[in-house]
Amino acid sequence: MSTRAEKFAGLSVAIVTPFRDGRIDSARLREQVDFQAQAGVTCLCPVGTTGESPTLSHEEHERVIAETIEAAAGRLLVMPGTGSNSTAEAVRLTKYAAAAGADAALVVGPYYNRPTQQGIYEHFKAIAESVEIPICVYNIPARTGRNIEPETILRLAEIPGIAMVKEATGSMDQASQILASTDLTVLSGDDSMTLPLLAIGGRGVVSVVGNLVPADMKSLLDAFEAGDLETARHWHHRLFTLCRDLLGLASNPIPIKSAMAMLGRDTGEVRLPLVRLEKPLEDKLRGVLGEYGLLSTGQATACRV
């Protein structure tokens, strides 16, 4: 299968932004990049929803982009989040990412101000025409308050710089319409929907659970690519509860940061208005990690890569 941005097919991981005492923990950020590089993932996506971009200052946002690219050192692709509900701000951030050496930009639909479909089209057109790196349209209406309708994405596909869609609507009909009518590279924006999306022509996932078990999610993708549907289904079922609870116990990235703290890979610190998991939910998450085999007798074990 040939799509517009095939080099991004496979496993991308939406990495967290580590904090310590309210500040970005650069050393731990580099550890996260090394962890993913050793796992052989295709691409890193810093400063997205999982990276708590809404609470980063402009300087911090740019700093995380630059440090991730520097730490990746060409070992894997980097597609930072550069979206905003202000077109001018999204253009500025995307230009910064391109100048810093990013391989692509992940641009979420404009949120809160709820533009018309024409406004959404003009927003992405302005961003795509401002840089030479490919743009991934991130459609997550549960976060933005506005769906990017498939007809709008079909129009955007006529713009050379628009290369990918991160599909997080939960609608297989919408994804099918895009896949049937364009050569855009469609990536799942929801871990538990990865296999269904692959089945209709999706080419990978931008994963949250990949922060913990990149090798397992990669095994699912590799099995499907090899035509081994039985093994792909095995990994889908194995990962399902972990994926569900990492995104369902509380708003992302609260559960994933809590899980990484339990595994000794993050402080678990989040910025207001996000707060850490309450004790009953922490206990439930600990149980899920134990059932998966990541925790044993309450002690953190090294996460598989």
Q: What pTM did the predictor assign?
A: 0.95
Nearest to 45 by CA among 73, 5, 72: 72
- Catalytic residue, from 138, 218, 257, 292: name it: 138
Q: What is the pLDDT of residue 1?
A: 62
- Catalytic residue, from 121, 125, 166, 292: name it: 166
CB-CB contact of 134 with 161 (8 Å): yes
The upper half-sphere exposure of residue 304, i.e. CA atoms within 13 Å in the direction of its Cβ, equals 13
Q: What is residue 196's three-state secondary structure?
A: helix
Q: What is the pLDDT of residue 245?
A: 86
Q: What is the pLDDT of residue 297?
A: 53
Domain ranges for the chain: 6-215
Tokens of 189: 């924006």
Active site residue 292: no
Q: What is residue 186's three-state secondary structure?
A: strand
Looking at domain 6-215, does it have CATH number 3.20.20.70? yes
Active site residue 166: yes
Q: What is the mean pLDDT of each run of 10 residues along the chain (305 residues)?
A: 93 98 97 98 97 97 98 98 98 98 98 97 98 98 96 98 97 97 98 97 98 98 98 97 90 96 96 96 96 74 36
Q: What is the pLDDT of residue 156?
A: 98
